[in-house]
Structure 1
Amino acid sequence: MNKVKVLVCGDVEGKFQTLFSRVENINKGHGVFDLLLCVGNFFGDTDEGLEPYRNGKLTVPIPTYILGPCSAVQVALYPHISGCELCPNLTYLGKRGLFTSSSGLKLAYVSGIEAESDTLSHHTFTDKDIESVKNACLRGQTNFRGVDILITSSWPKDIMLGDKGCSVQIEPNGSWLLSWLAAQVKPHYHFSGQEGVYFERAPYRNHSFSGSTPEHATRFIALAKVGNTLKHKWLYAFSLAPIDQMSTTHLYQETTDQTDCPYTGKMLHPSLSMKQVRPSQFFYDMDSLTDEGNQRKKARKDNKQQHKRQPPKFDQESCWFCLASATVEKHLVISVGSESYLALAKGGMVPDHVLILPVGHHQSLSTLPDAVEEEIEKYPLRTSALKKYFKKQHKVPVFFERNYKTSHLQIQTVPIPHNMAGRLKRVFQENAEQDGLQLDELPHHTKLSQVAPPRTPYFYVELPSGDKLYHRVANNFPLQFGREVLASEELLDMADRADWRDCKATKEKETELAKAFRCAFEPFDFTL
C-alpha cells in the first residue's frame, strides 16, 4: 500500500515566493512531496507576482492545485473560471468538483463562499453546487467509503462543536452547506482557510447512515495565512494511502481523542431540502422558466386558505424554447420539422449532445398532442435518423427527459460508445438507488401518458435496448441526474461535465459545433 505525500497551505494572498521557497526546502530535507493543495485566497490584489512563474524565470516545485476566488474582485484574476493551468505545475481546479490524482487519491473541492442570495456568481456556491459534488463522489460507488481529502475555502458550520480541547478564540463564518457535504462524502481529511488561524480539530467519527456499519474518522484542519507575522501554522505535511486501498482494520481504527460527529439534524439528511437557485434559461437549462419567488409564496398562502393555485401560463414570446420566440438562440438549431426541431445542447456533455424539442409550447412527452408526438418519434425510434446517424459512428443514443422544474419539453440525446450500452440499465438503477430514488421499468409498448397524468413531475429515460425507466418525482429530485449517470466512471467517465455550468462555450464555438453537426447529419435528416 503506497502512501502519497501531501502538503496543504492556507491563504497564499500573492506570497508565491514565500510559499514555493518553503516547499523547495522541505523537499530537500524530507524528500519530494507528491502534491501541494492551497485553500483560501490564492491571489492578492493582483496576479503580477505569478509572472516569473509564467515566463519560466521561477518554477513551481511540485504539482500544485488551488481553489477559486472568494470575492467578486478576484474573479478577473482567473482566466478560465471553470478551471485551467495557470502556469507549469500550477492548476486552478475550478469552482467545485471531484479530482482523482495519478496516485489514486480522490480530492473533492469547493471554492468560494456560500451564496447569501439566489444570484449566481463565480465566487459563491449554492446547494446545487454542493449536491453536484456529493453526486460526483458517490456516483458508481456501490460500497462508498468516503473521499480522501475535501478542500474548501470556507469552514463548515459547527465544526468546533464537541471539541473540548479547542483553544481558537474566533467565531468562524461557517457554511451549513459545507457541513452537509462533509457529512455525506466522509473525507479522511478536510482542510479550509480564510479565517487566518490554525486550528486542528480532534478527529470526529462520521455518522453511520445505515446505523450499523462502522465509519472512519475525519480530521479537520484549518490553516493560517502564508507567511503571517504571528507565526501561526500555515503549511501542513502528511502522508496517506487512498481510502479505497486501506484495510478495514486500519481505516476504522480509533484514537483516544476521537469525538462524536459535530454535524447534527438536517446536516445528516441524505438530500438537501433548501430552496433551489434559479439559473439563466437556455437550451442546456431545464429549470422552470417561472420560479416565481414571491408569487409562489403567495400561492402557498392561498392554498392554506383552500384556494386552488392555478398552473402558470406560458406563451411563445416568453418561452426560451418555443421556436417562434425571439429569445431562442437560433445558431444552435440543427433541423426543423413541422412540429418539432433538433438543436445542439448548450453546455453539452459531448460535442454531439443534442435536444429534441417541440416547435410550439408543450410541457412534456406525457402531454403531447398526437400530431406532435408522431413527428417527434421520427427522431428517437430505432430506425430513425438519429440512431442511424450515431450507428455510423459506432455509438448509440440515450434519450432522457426531466419533467420537473421545467416548462418546455426537452428530450436530452447523448450518444455513448456502442460497447457501453449493455451496462446502461444497471448503472442507472444503481445510481438511482444511491440517491434514494425508485426507477420503474415500463413495458416497451407503454406510453408516458398512461402512467403520468398531466402535471405529474417525472424523470424518464429510454435506453438503446428499448428499455424504458421511469421515476415519479415526489419530493426533491437531483436536477442533473441523467447527466450525472452518463458522466459516471462506468460510462463516459467525465465527472467534470456532469453539470452544464462547467461546459459552457463561446457563441463562436457553439456556432462551429452546430455547423459541423448539421453537415454530418444532413444525409439522415428526414426534414430535408
Structure 2
Amino acid sequence: MTPKAKSAINNVLQDGLNSSSNVSFSKLICGDVCGHFKTLYSRINKVLAAAGPFEALFCVGDFFGESGDEFDKICEDPSTIPIVTYVLCPATPTALRFITDLNGCELCPSIKYLGQQGTYTTISGLRIVYVSVSPSVEADSDTWVTEFPSLEADPSFSGVDLLLTCQWPTYIVPPNDPLSSKVADQTSLCVAHIAKSVTPRYHFVATNGVFYERKPYRNHRVLQEKEKLVTRFIALAKYLYALKVKPVDKMSQIELCAQPPDVTDNPYFDNLDRTAVPKPKESSGTVLQEVQTEQYFYATGKKRVANDDGGRKRADWKLKKYGDPHPTENTPKVHDACWFCLGNPQVAKHLLVTIATHAYLALPRGPLVKGHVLILTVGHHQSWLTCPETVQADIEAYKKSLRAMFKEEGKVMVTFERNYKTHHYQLQVVPVPFAVAGEVKKAFLEMSESLPNSPCKLEPLPRSSSISDFCKPGIPYFYVELPTGEKLFNKIERNRVSSSDVNFGRAVLASEAILNCPERVNWRECTESEEAETQLAAEMRTKFAAFDFA
C-alpha cells in the first residue's frame, strides 16, 4: 500500500488471509459522519484511488448531523457518491426526516438505511449483525434477558463476521482503564448481551466520539470449552477503517480459532452472569412473553430468510422477556418516540374514536372539515406496504364502515396516504359533498402537476391493482382513493422528498373546486383547544357507534 493510502486510512485490518487473498473481501467502515458528506466522500475517493476497489462502505453512528442540509444536496447529484453506502444510525428527529421505513429503506441512490436491527449477508458471504438500541428500553434493561437457543444448539454456528452497533456494550472497557468512567453512562447492557451471544470477529461501534481499540478477547472459557474465534472491538469515532477479511463460512477451523498472543478473557462472561435475571420455573406460574421488538433479539434456527437486492438476508429476530408474574397482555413494546403508537404515554388519547384489534380511528389535529378522521395502526407500521394482512383487514373494515356512515349524510369520502416525512401509517379520510365527487380526480391530477411543492405527478392505477404491484417497502409515495373507486398513485423521487409539501393532500381537498377552505390547508393554523377537540371526538364516537365493527 502506498504512503498516500496509509494516510487516508486510519487503520488496515487483515485477518485469516491466504497469500493469494482471492477469498478475502474489502470493506470500508466509518464512524460518526455528522452530516459532513462532502468530506466523507472526498476521503473515500482518495482511498479508492490508492487502495481500491472496496465492496461497500458501512457508516455507524451519527450520520445526518444536526440539520441534514448537506444530505439534501448530495442526493441531488448521486453521481458524487462513489461507493454503495449502508447506514446504521440512531432514529433522531433529523434522521427521521429521511428514513421512510425504520425496518430499512433506500435514502437515495447508492445510500441505504439498514434498519434498527437485523442481519445482512453480503454478496461475498460476509455475515453482519447490526443493531441500534432505543434508550427508553435501555432504561429498564435489567428486567430483560436474552436467549439464543438456536445458536447454542447449532453446532455449525461459528460466529458472525461483523457486529455493528451505535452503542458501546457495557463492560467492554476494563475497569482499570481511565476510559471506563468516561464512557460508562453511554454503554448498553443490551449490546453486551448481543455481543456475547453472536460472537463477532469484529465489533464496530460509534457515538461516543472516542477512538478506542481493545485487545482482542476470547469467546470460550479456557480449559472448559473448545477454542472459538476471538473478537476485536473497535470504537470508530470519526475514523475510517479498511477491513480485508475472509468470511467465517470460508475459513478453516484452525484459521478461525487462532488465538493471538495478546488475547484477553471475555469481558461479558462473569459480568453478565451476575446481572442476568433468573429464568422463572414452569411450576411458578410465571408467564413467558415472546414479542417482536427492535431491542434484544436472537436468530431462530429455522432457515426462513428473505433475500433482498444486494445479497441481503434478514433473519427472524425475536426476544424473550421474563416479565411481571401476572402480565395482562402479550403485546410488543412500542416506539416510545412515535406520536401514533398507542403504547406511547404521550399519544393524544382525547382524540381517539374507536380501537379495533390492529387499527384505530382518531380525529386529526386541525381537521379540514367536520368528519375528517384518521385510520392508524395500533402497532408500529410505517406504511400500507409494511402492514400485515390482519392489519390491512382492520383498515379496510374501518373504510367500509365510514363509507356507510357518510352515505347516510349524503357525502362520499376521499382517502389518501402520504408516505413521506412520516414513520407511522396514517390514512386521511375526508368526507366531501356528493355534488363535487366528480371533481376530486381532476383536482388531484392537475394540482399534482401544477403545485411547485407537489411530491409527484399522480397517475391512475388500474382498478384491479394495488400499491404493492408498483412499489416496494421503503420507497416514498403518495396514494389517493377517490369516491368513484378509482385510485391515483406515484412514487416520489428521492431528491424530491425534502421539498415535498406535507400538506399537499389537504391543499387539493381545500381548493375552491372541492371544499373551498384554503385557510385550513395547514393544520397548525386551525387547531382547536383540547376541550373542543374532546367534544368533537365524543360527537364522532356517538355518530360512528352504529357503524363500528370493532
Q: Name the TM tier (shorter chain).
A: 0.3 to 0.5
Question: Which structure carries more strand by proportion?
Answer: 2
Larger Rg: 2
Length-normalised TM-score, structure 1:
0.48
